[in-house]
Amino acid sequence: MSRPEIRVQGLHKSFGDNHVLRGIDLEIDQGEVVCVIGPSGSGKSTLLRCVNLLEEPSEGQVFVGGTEITDPDVDIDAARRRIGMVFQQFNLFPHLTVTENLTLPQRRVLGRGRAEAARVAAENLARVGLAEKAAAYPASLSGGQQQRVAIARALAMGPDVMLFDEPTSALDPELVGDVLAVMRGLAEEGMTMMVVTHEMTFAREVADRVVFMDGGVVVEDGSPDQVIGAPRHERTRHFLSRLLDPAMAEVEEETSDQVGEPGA
């Protein structure tokens, strides 16, 4: 029986008076792919950032690989080395080549020598289909290529868990496919992945589970067929209908506005 690679218990997060996360309980098993969906402001990205303590929870516990990273005495730098993170923006150093972007964190954080870091960089660039871009600078790459470099940089650190925060949201539509293909490959390799996304096709085809969040709570958690194909809750159905049919959502909003007008 696989053990939970990520375990979140009673997680709360507030920013001043804004109570963003309201008691999240979630487990992700080793090798499992979990997609987190929900409307803007539902707490998805905050949850992801709490998993590697980029945001410090107000209350609750987070365990990664059996280590409680919310323990005040934990070596957080050591714990974070097991967690790869890919953001909406690529955050590549523009003055460094692709290879240098991959080798710098290995040398600084893991203490690898130049030769070993370069070897690992080359392996992971090949893994994301960009071996031929090793000497290129970020400005010469498309957005999709830069995001694949960012994924390779995270993989070069040898993580046990990969977290993705809307990895395709900043990309032109024609560039999304290559990034999702790399993520599919990681899933097939057995990488534990937690993915905040609006890409419903990816969630349906690749995820083992889909978690729908709204208002800082988990509303539904189940298989893609259940959560996306046959959601139990009206909040989930409403979100998916607006996401999958934006034109209908616009009609609904216009109708709502007209009903609310004085004298209507």
The DSSP result for 163-175, as a single string, is: EEESTTTTS-GGG
pLDDT in tens, 17-39: 999 999 999 999 999 999 999 99
Pick from 183, 179, 239, 211: which is nearest to 37 by CA? 211
- Residues 82 and 65: their CA atoms lie apart, in Å, by 8
In a domain, 215, yes or no: no
Find the helix or strand (DSSP H, E) in which 96 lies: none
Identify whether 221 is part of a domain: no
- Please give the residue range of the domain that contains residue 126: 93-158
User: What are the helix (H) ranges across the chain?
Assistant: 44-51, 76-80, 98-105, 114-127, 143-155, 176-189, 200-206, 224, 234-244, 246-259
Strands 4-15 and 18-29, by their bridges, are: antiparallel
pLDDT at 242: 86
Specify if 183 maps to a domain.
no
Is residue 16 domain-resident? Answer: no
Residue 181 CB: number of other CB atoms within 10 A?
13
Residue 169, in any domain of the structure: no
* Contact call for residues 179 and 168 (beta carbons, < 8 A): yes
Instruction: Read off the pLDDT of residues 195-226 as tens digits, 9 standing for 90 and up.
Output: 999 999 999 999 999 999 999 999 999 999 99
| Residue 256 pLDDT exceeds 60 | no
Given a contact cutoff of 8 angstroms between Cβ atoms, the answer to whether 180 and 168 are in contact is yes
| Residue 29 DSSP one-character state | E
Q: Which residues of 26-41 are buried (b: 16+ CB within 10 A; e: fewer)?
A: bbbbeebbbbbbbbee
Domain-embedded: residue 175: no
- The verdict on residue 105 lying in a domain is yes
Domain assignment of residue 150, yes or no: yes
C-alpha span between 26 and 30 (Å, rounded) = 13
Please count the structural domains in the chain.
Answer: 1
67 forms bridges with which residues in the sheet? 64
Query: Tens digits of per-residue pLDDT, 121-156?
Result: 999 999 999 999 999 999 999 999 999 999 999 999
